[in-house]
């Protein structure tokens, strides 16, 4: 349960004075729903209103606070586009105050002729006339001190003014409670950091541009808080996983040998090395927690199978959790014949298994008839019980949270955990997502792979591409056509894909298929199956095919608006081809003008096929903050911390978290209690559950 002291922060923004439904709706568009979201919405700039020149000296474009006398009103003529002008002056010259679509009564009340007023806003020089449109402040001279000398500037959204947002944030700051200090006193003193409430207040009240920098004490402290919460939560989960009594699984290798004998190829050196590491881990009495990083097509699936066979050889069961239905089916389909060769029983369980068929699977699982269960998150549903789960393999981990991982492992005793990811993440960054898991890397690709020939083509040449695809289809090729990513919205992705599908179908007829994320899983699988079997030759898709889909016969990948994709994603998409023995091609269609970064991304794609190099380049081009912030990376998004600047804080936070837990494992001391509040403040509620039940 969230501590009472935080209640006001987690209340809806409408509980704040002066924040009504309309403002709330605007805020919601920026992801701000609760008071705490307002607090984390930090200014990106500041306005200095201390500049107070005479009218004559007020430069174009500067923010200034001027004292002027009102001369005459020139109301806007009815209909017409001309604004309402109020002529004002001081002893140096004249200035027009300009209002578009403004309320006459309001203007006359604010600026009576003959009165002296202090105005503050942006000065413009328009056809030789000094003017200020819609001043931010219009006050009587005696109220001048109501104009803040310095004002924070926030990211806004259409319809929301800075004034309204600042008011809401001020109200939010007023409700911010004093919180018991969770920082280690010596550390705080060394850094010279303010307490939390001072820090959040100061972060919203910059009085020098350097206060906007991530290194400013207020911001650094808040970032540290966030990283500490992140590391503490991970440490709790890790403790929890480590505390589980592990079991030693040693297989005699007979099942693995059968599978290897059934393979038409030999394992690569890296596959062998990783399997050895896994076997060693599993043979230890502690529970395994290992991450396998390997580029697309490096053969992780096979490694997963062989690892699962260790558990089976040792008399236990294994589970493989995949992020999507398509992938779960594909894994089951690839692994089934190999499992059969080994005489091992493998089954598939997804959300689509219902009623009797599901019951039958669950029964076989509970009785031990099934050795290996492959599936989607349907695997972690409450009533899925194993006879004896020994190893959980989690594929493409970044789509799963730590909790799903834990849920799956709680279905067995001393379950070993193997996580597989195709995103090669630098170690510092992976710390925020995985804590300190043991890491294995598969770098070597299976032999015989021909690099995918990659070309970048301007969108204006779409017709040529369409014609070339037509020729390729005639000669029996199979191709993917991936449609642009439109903002973050899946519906618009889908619309783009549907339009392209219609257009291509009009040209090539029934050999064109379509898959997108909004389709029913059954439909999507049917289309994928048609593509895999060659009944469909051209598959138009949204990025649903990004992860892991394996159709070795596909040799062409067309990506429309490639400039909108991140490098990692382009690499993943391209990895869908070049999986068979045939030469493959990737056509990156782009629409200009290209940003410098987009140009660099496309160049990198042309130049290299090496996932680790691409990951590094990606990091360089985007900076770790962005890599972390994007959905596709699957790493946690931070509200305040920015690892481009706060990487050193992360390392400290990690040590801090581990030390705090080792001294006070249940977080019961005074500092422990404060750290609990910190976890709630950053919404790591789930981690606290592990603490209580642990």
Dist. CA 160–CA 273, nearest whole Å: 57
| Token couple for 474 | 């005639």
Tokens 């599901």, residue located: 358
| Token couple for 333 | 């389909």
Considering the complex, what minimum distance in angstroms separates the CB of residue 480 from ligand ADP?
15
Considering the complex, what minimum distance in angstroms separates the CB of residue 337 from ligand ADP?
11
Closer to Mg ion by Cβ: residue 246 or 548: 548
Considering the complex, what minimum distance in angstroms separates the CB of residue 297 from ligand ADP?
4
Contact flags string 413-452 toward ligand ADP, x per CB under 6 A:
---------x-----------------------x------
302 binds ligand ADP (CB under 6 A): yes
Among positions 268, 440, 456, 632, the unique one binding ligand ADP when judged by CB under 6 A: 268
Residue nearest to ligand ADP (CB): 299
**Site residues (CB under 6 A) for ligand ADP, limited to 531-590:** 548, 550, 552, 579
Neighbours of 473 (CB within 10 A): 18
Considering the complex, what minimum distance in angstroms separates the CB of residue 445 from ligand ADP?
8
Among positions 26, 290, 300, 671, the unique one binding ligand ADP when judged by CB under 6 A: 300
Could you say which of Mg ion, ligand ADP, none residue 435 binds, taking C-beta under 5 to 8 angstroms by partner kind?
Answer: none
Dist. CA 649–CA 145, nearest whole Å: 39
Considering the complex, what minimum distance in angstroms separates the CB of residue 313 from ligand ADP?
20
267 binds ligand ADP (CB under 6 A): yes
- Of 39-47, 144-152, 267-275, 521-529, which segment contacts ligand ADP by CB under 6 A? 267-275
Considering the complex, what minimum distance in angstroms separates the CB of residue 374 from Mg ion?
12
Considering the complex, what minimum distance in angstroms separates the CB of residue 10 from ligand ADP?
41
Q: Decide: 308 and 299 in contact? Cβ < 8 Å.
A: no
Q: Decide: 120 and 137 in contact? Cβ < 8 Å.
A: yes
Considering the complex, what minimum distance in angstroms separates the CB of residue 303 from ligand ADP?
8
Could you say which of ligand ADP, Mg ion, none residue 578 binds, taking C-beta under 5 to 8 angstroms by partner kind?
Answer: none
Could you say which of ligand ADP, Mg ion, none residue 53 binds, taking C-beta under 5 to 8 angstroms by partner kind?
Answer: none
| Token couple for 649 | 């804080």
297 binds ligand ADP (CB under 6 A): yes
| Token couple for 238 | 């890790």
106 binds ligand ADP (CB under 6 A): no
Closer to ligand ADP by Cβ: residue 300 or 398: 300
Among positions 64, 296, 322, 602, the unique one binding ligand ADP when judged by CB under 6 A: 296
Considering the complex, what minimum distance in angstroms separates the CB of residue 570 from Mg ion?
17
Among positions 299, 435, 578, 611, the unique one binding ligand ADP when judged by CB under 6 A: 299
Closer to Mg ion by Cβ: residue 226 or 546: 546
Closer to ligand ADP by Cβ: residue 296 or 643: 296
- Of 264-272, 472-480, 534-542, 565-573, which segment contacts ligand ADP by CB under 6 A? 264-272
Considering the complex, what minimum distance in angstroms separates the CB of residue 147 from Mg ion?
60
| Token couple for 675 | 């750290």
Contact flags string 221-260 toward ligand ADP, x per CB under 6 A:
----------------------------------------
Could you say which of ligand ADP, Mg ion, none residue 376 binds, taking C-beta under 5 to 8 angstroms by partner kind?
Answer: none
Dist. CA 58–CA 170, nearest whole Å: 30
What's the half-sphere exposure (Cβ side, CA atoms, 13 Å) at 129?
Answer: 15
Q: Decide: 287 and 341 in contact? Cβ < 8 Å.
A: no
Closer to ligand ADP by Cβ: residue 248 or 266: 266
Instruction: Report the Cα 303 to chain-centroid distance in Å.
Output: 28
Closer to ligand ADP by Cβ: residue 301 or 543: 301
Could you say which of Mg ion, ligand ADP, none residue 294 binds, taking C-beta under 5 to 8 angstroms by partner kind?
Answer: ligand ADP
399 binds ligand ADP (CB under 6 A): no
Dist. CA 161–CA 493, nearest whole Å: 31
Tokens 């095919």, residue located: 545
Judged by the rule CB under 5 A, the positions of this chain that interact with Mg ion are 548
Q: Decide: 408 and 394 in contact? Cβ < 8 Å.
A: yes
Query: Which of 616, 508, 521, 611 minimizes the C-alpha distance to 558?
Result: 508
Could you say which of ligand ADP, Mg ion, none residue 623 binds, taking C-beta under 5 to 8 angstroms by partner kind?
Answer: none
Q: How big is the site for ligand ADP, counted in residues (CB under 6 A)?
A: 18
Residue nearest to Mg ion (CB): 548
Dist. CA 661–CA 672, nearest whole Å: 8
Q: Are strands 585-590 and 538-541 parallel, antiparallel or unpaired?
A: unpaired
Q: What is the DSSP string of 96-138?
A: EEEESS--HHHHHHHS-TT-EEEEEEEEEEETTEEEEES-SEE
Q: SS3 helix, strand, coil % of the chain, rounded to 5?
A: 50, 20, 35
Q: Decide: 207 and 151 in contact? Cβ < 8 Å.
A: no
Closer to ligand ADP by Cβ: residue 237 or 274: 274
Closer to Mg ion by Cβ: residue 548 or 578: 548
**What 3-state class would DSSP assign to 332?**
helix
Closer to ligand ADP by Cβ: residue 524 or 579: 579
Closer to ligand ADP by Cβ: residue 121 or 294: 294
Tokens 């207040």, residue located: 201
Q: Decide: 98 and 83 in contact? Cβ < 8 Å.
A: yes
Dist. CA 408–CA 399, nearest whole Å: 15
Among positions 65, 131, 231, 298, the unique one binding ligand ADP when judged by CB under 6 A: 298
DSSP, res 666: T
Q: 3-class secondary structure for 502-542?
A: HHHHHHHHHHEEEECCCCCHHHHHHHHHHHHHCCCCEEEEC
| Token couple for 640 | 């305040």
Considering the complex, what minimum distance in angstroms separates the CB of residue 483 from Mg ion?
23
The order of strands in the sheet holding 478-482 is 453-458, 585-590, 554-559, 478-482, 538-541, 512-515
Closer to Mg ion by Cβ: residue 326 or 538: 326
Query: Which of 452, 429, 454, 451 minimizes the C-alpha distance to 439?
Result: 429
Q: Which residues bind ligand ADP (CB under 6 A)?
A: 265, 267-268, 271, 294, 296-302, 422, 446, 548, 550, 552, 579
């Amino acid at each position: 349960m969230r501590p009472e002291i935080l209640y006001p922060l987690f209340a809806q923004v409408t509980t704040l004075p002066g924040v009504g439904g309309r403002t709330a709706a605007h805020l919601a568009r920026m992801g701000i729903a609760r008071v705490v979201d307002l607090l984390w919405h930090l200014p990106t700039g500041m306005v200095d209103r201390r500049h107070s020149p005479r009218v004559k000296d007020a430069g174009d474009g500067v923010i200034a606070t001027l004292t002027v006398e009102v001369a005459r009103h020139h109301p806007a003529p009815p209909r017409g586009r001309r604004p309402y002008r109020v002529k004002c002056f001081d002893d140096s010259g004249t200035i027009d105050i300009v209002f578009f679509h403004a309320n006459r009564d309001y203007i006359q009340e604010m600026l009576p002729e003959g009165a002296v007023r202090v105005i503050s806003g942006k000065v413009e020089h328009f056809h030789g006339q000094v003017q200020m449109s819609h001043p931010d402040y219009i006050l009587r001279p005696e109220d001048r001190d109501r104009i803040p000398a310095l004002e924070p500037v926030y990211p806004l959204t259409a319809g929301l003014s800075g004034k309204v947002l600042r008011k809401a944030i001020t109200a939010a700051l007023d409700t911010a409670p004093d919180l018991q200090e969770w920082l280690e006193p010596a550390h705080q003193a060394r850094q010279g950091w303010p307490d939390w409430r001072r820090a959040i207040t100061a972060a919203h009240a910059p009085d020098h541009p350097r206060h906007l920098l991530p290194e400013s004490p207020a911001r650094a402290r808040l970032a540290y808080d966030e990283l500490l919460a992140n590391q503490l939560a991970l440490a709790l989960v890790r403790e929890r996983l480590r505390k589980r009594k592990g079991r030693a699984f040693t297989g005699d290798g007979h099942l693995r040998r059968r599978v290897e004998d059934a393979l038409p190829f030999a394992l690569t050196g890296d596959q062998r090395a990783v399997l050895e590491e896994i076997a060693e881990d599993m043979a230890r009495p502690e529970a395994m927690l290992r991450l396998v990083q390997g580029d697309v097509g490096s053969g992780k699936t096979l490694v997963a199978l062989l690892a699962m066979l260790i558990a089976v050889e040792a008399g236990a069961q294994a589970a493989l959790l995949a992020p999507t239905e398509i992938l779960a089916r594909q894994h089951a389909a690839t692994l089934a014949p190999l499992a059969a060769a080994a005489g091992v029983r493998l089954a598939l369980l997804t959300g689509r298994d219902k009623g009797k068929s599901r019951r039958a699977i669950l029964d076989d699982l509970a009785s031990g008839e099934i050795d290996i269960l492959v599936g989607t998150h349907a695997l972690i549903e409450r009533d899925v019980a194993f006879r004896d789960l020994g190893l959980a393999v989690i594929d493409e981990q970044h789509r799963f949270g730590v909790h799903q991982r834990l849920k799956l492992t709680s279905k067995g005793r001393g379950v070993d955990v193997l996580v597989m990811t195709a995103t090669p993440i630098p170690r510092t960054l992976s710390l925020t997502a995985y804590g300190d898991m043991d890491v294995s890397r598969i770098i070597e690709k299976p032999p015989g792979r021909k690099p995918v020939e990659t070309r970048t083509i301007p969108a204006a040449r779409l017709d040529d591409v369409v014609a070339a695809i037509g020729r390729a289809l005639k000669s029996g090729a199979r191709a993917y056509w991936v449609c642009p990513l439109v903002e973050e919205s899946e519906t618009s992705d889908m619309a783009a894909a549907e339009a392209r599908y219609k257009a291509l179908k009009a040209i090539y007829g029934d050999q064109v298929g379509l898959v997108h994320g909004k389709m029913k899983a059954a439909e999507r699988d049917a289309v994928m199956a048609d593509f895999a079997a060659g009944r469909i030759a051209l598959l138009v898709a949204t990025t649903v095919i990004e992860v892991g889909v394996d159709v070795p016969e596909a040799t062409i990948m067309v990506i429309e608006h490639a400039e909108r994709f991140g490098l990692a994603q382009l690499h993943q998409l391209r990895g869908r081809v070049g999986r068979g023995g045939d030469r493959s091609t990737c056509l990156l269609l782009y629409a200009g003008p290209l940003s410098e970064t987009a140009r660099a991304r496309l160049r990198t794609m042309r130049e290299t096929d090496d996932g680790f190099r691409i990951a590094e380049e990606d990091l360089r081009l985007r900076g770790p903050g962005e890599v972390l912030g994007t959905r596709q990376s699957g790493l946690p998004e931070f509200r305040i911390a920015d690892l481009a600047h706060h990487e050193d804080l992360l390392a400290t936070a990690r040590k801090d978290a581990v030390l705090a837990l080792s001294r006070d494992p249940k977080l019961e001391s005074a500092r422990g209690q404060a750290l609990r509040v910190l976890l709630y403040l950053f919404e790591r509620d789930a981690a606290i559950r592990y603490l209580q039940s642990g």
